Amino acid sequence: MDMGLYIKKGSLSQALLTALEKTVDGMVRLEDFAYHSGFYAYGGGWQYPLKKSALSKAISRLKEKGFVETEGNEIELVLKLTDEGKQALFLSGISEEKKWDGKWRIVIFDIPEEKRLIRNMFRRNLKKWEFKPLQKSVWISKKHVTEKLIDYIKYLKIEEWVLVIESDKIGPKSIL
């Protein structure tokens, strides 16, 4: 997995990105998050109430990775989620799957040539999620990523060209 896009599930960084994603415009006032962080991510893996130093470090890491941008001044600082931050959210927690649940995830796509860049990015991310190609546009995985994958497909606006199937039966050919 590309560690540049990795965000640990349950971390303060993931909570910040999630809070930004859930806002209407992808922005949140830093003061609001700092004083009401439990509202944004109940049960996060950090101390509550939130320490200013922990929040500052998390924001610095997210800015370095290009996941957030900041706007404002010393009195009011606003965080803004970037496209890279949205992708990191979609990819977060996928490598932490422990045990196979017995279901296969099959992705079938036929994304038009005029959307080649999105198609190539989609294919690269399928590889990051440990999907294996059966054919050029048919990929399969044991990873439990169906909901995240569907959200990602909607985010890319390619749902009319992509089909996701979750099944516990495949055969008779040996697949992987």
**First-to-last C-alpha distance (Å) of the chain:** 19
The mean pLDDT of 39-53, rounded to a whole number, is: 55
- In DSSP notation, 28-66 reads EEHHHHHHSHHHHSTT-SS-SSPPHHHHHHHHHHHHHTT
Cis, bond preceding 133 (omega within 30 deg of 0): no
CATH 1.10.10.10 positions along the chain are 3-91
Global pTM reads: 0.59
Predicted pLDDT at 58: 79
pLDDT tens column, 112-139: 999 999 999 899 888 888 899 988 899 9
Average pLDDT value for the chain: 75
- Measured CA to CA, the distance from residue 165 to residue 172 in angstroms comes to 17
Pick the CATH number of 98-167 from 3.10.450.50, 3.30.70.240, 3.10.20.740, 3.30.870.10: 3.30.70.240
Domain 3-91 class?
mainly alpha
Q: Tokens 């045990």 appear where?
A: 99
